[in-house]
Amino acid sequence: MTSPPRGRTPRTGDYAEASIRVLKGLEPVRQRPGMYTRTDSPLHIVQEVIDNAADEFLSGFGKKIEVTLHKDGAVTVEDDGRGIPVGLHPEEGVPVVEIVFTRLHAGGKFDKRAGGAYAFSGGLHGVGVSVTNALAQRMDVTVWREGAEHTIGFAGGDVRTKLASEPGAGRRSGTRITVWPDPKYFDTPNVPVDELERLLRSKAVLLPGTEVRFVNEKTGVERRWRFDGGLKEYLLQSLAAEPAVPPFEASAFASADDASFAEGEGADCVLVWTEEGAPTRESYVNLIPTPAGGTHEAGLREAMFTALRAFIDAHNLLPKGVKLLPEDVFARASFVLSAKALDPQFQGQVKERLNSRDALRLVAGLVRPQLEFWLNQHPEHGRKLAEMAIAQAQARARAGQRVEKKKGSAVAVLPGKLTDCESTDVARNEIFLVEGDSAGGSAKMGRDKEFQAVLPLRGKVLNTWEVERDRLFANAEVHDIAVALGIDPHGPDDAIDWASLRYGKVCILADADVDGSHIQVLLLTLFFRHFPQLVTRGHVCVARPPLFRVDVPAAGKRPARRLYCLDDDELQATLEKLADEGVRESAWSIARFKGLGEMSPEQLWETTLNPDTRRLLPVTLGELAAAETAATMTMLMGRGEAAQRRAWLEERGNEVEVDV
């Protein structure tokens, strides 16, 4: 056995050429399934198959979906759509049905040109059923197409039985997919039946006239849904209380000569206001449920507020001294919203939240005129809704006064650099901890002064990981943060007077570069170490400003546009989308933001401050226990841990995306 060279410490993990591993095919999904789907149960990988069937109906093909939950845990989804193409791919030379299930980023939904197979579908990730296949022990696919029955089988993501075709299918068309989820990738191998039924019911709601059938072989129960009455029928059945006014229905879609949106983009929605009971709120984009909401819901909220506020102003209904806010109009509203977008951009692969900024203008612009007309056509309904919204605003104001009186006796002198907000509603108020005075100036001018405060920080905050609690305030920046927040440093189990907290959200806003990331880490260290209950209660967030701006000139009827991209991947996707639209590569220009200070107040508001269009990342402890998180933070931030950090960097350095 040879000894290491003199002066060199032996290491177990050298970083060399052989350290780089290339993941092929579906291997990245199996390595880190949580990046592609939810891993609490197999429901989402089954939903991907159901969504594909629904996309057929959205494109005008098929009338029924049948889903069967088998006794062995497998799930079968069958539709009568066009059937997945089975011929050879012109470039790859293998059957298309095989490519769809074995290749990431392959599918018919990338073709958005006129006449594409799926002009409207649930997103452009292209990893749906391939992820389902990757995380399944086995998958069997049967396609009826062009007078024949075609079968292919998969196991562990690879082809198990090659494509075989038998004539005799006649005029039958459609696809049947049976999936056996692999239990090792999920917390539980069982598909939650109640959630699956709710998903199937929503498909029937959003596709009036379509029959959805569910058979549970484990219990012998069979369910069928068909809503010829569409959204209105569904919402009225779901309400916990009687409506205060009759339902409002809106349906609006862009025409071929629309200057801002593609033909067919738009929304269907039903709105109901109730005086009691929990509201029912559901939204969808191209039939995909968005339980976390997004910009289409923000557009509906803006349309509701703008229309009702115009009615109140026109009839002089607002009492003196009452300030009406969007949440006052929204508080007692129930709705079902189904938006249709040509190229929806979702947050994460599970598609729980819509991020497309155009969706806000799309829904607001199409729904508001119809709601204004309805209110003026039925002034008795408008007055009733005005009374409810004004009562909500008055109750909110009284609650804010009670909090202010409780806090008034011991208010500390606020930092001089703090630009505070006007509202005393802690749940709504936000404070942005901004890197530098330049970015702080843009944030002050771009913010909504009603509920957003700004505290500029000078340079990098002190590393507080090993600073004792009673010495924290020796640092001016940490002192200003604590005083602005209104609560003292504490431990995970200390009793806290939460009534003194001044902001419901604490947002870290730093440049999208290496220095900005360092400032984020230092602030997160401060909160995790000395304000841990702020983190566990969900008060701390990280703002995600864009790194790129793409300026696209006017073309034909489409006006000039300014598009923002979070990172290189999003930039590439945006450029591909522009190329698909026929925009010449030489026509657009790309600018890279060096810092927040380069943004105008309007740009900063649109991309980072506006609650309806920004990207805000909540900070949580994640899957690790608090002790494990603390150990990792000690290794990263401790003064005496240089050797551990070096070893960690040598082991994990290949995972870093360097920004130089």
CA distance 215 to 75: 10
**Cβ-contact 345, 356 below 8 angstroms:** yes
- The rounded distance, in Å, linking the Cα atoms of 460 and 456 is 11
**Which residue type, as a one-letter code, is found at position 541?**
C
Ramachandran bin of 104, using left for φ above 0, alpha for ψ from -120 to 50, beta for the remaining angles: beta
- Residue of 27, 327, 420, 513 marked catalytic: 513
Among 172, 44, 156, 170, smallest CA distance to 101 is for 156
State which amino acid sits at residue 650. E
Q: H or E segment at 530?
A: helix 514-530
Query: Of residues 79, 435, 477, 606, which has the active-site annotation?
Result: 435
Distance from C-alpha of 129 to C-alpha of 516, rounded to nearest angstrom: 37
Residue ranges of alpha helices (H) inside 424-551 are 436-446, 476-485, 514-530, 532-536
Residue 141: its H or E element: strand 136-145
Residue 470 is among the residues annotated as catalytic for this protein:
no
- Residue at 500: amino acid letter: S
92 is catalytic: no
The helix (H) or strand (E) run that includes residue 589 is strand 589-592
- Identify whether 488 is a catalytic site residue: no
For this structure, is 275 an active site residue? no
Alpha-carbon torsion angle 81, 86, 88, 90, nearest 10:
10
Task: Say if residues 358 and 581 touch (Cβ distance below 8 Å).
Answer: no
Catalytic residue among 78, 282, 297, 511: 511
The answer to whether 51 touches 287, Cβ cutoff 8 Å, is yes
Q: Number of C-alpha atoms within 13 angstroms, CB side, residue 636?
A: 14
329 in Cβ contact with 371 (< 8 Å): no
515, 580, 641, 650: the catalytic one is 515
Q: How far apart are CA 274 and CA 334, in angstroms?
A: 8
Cite the active site residues. Answer: 435, 511, 513, 515
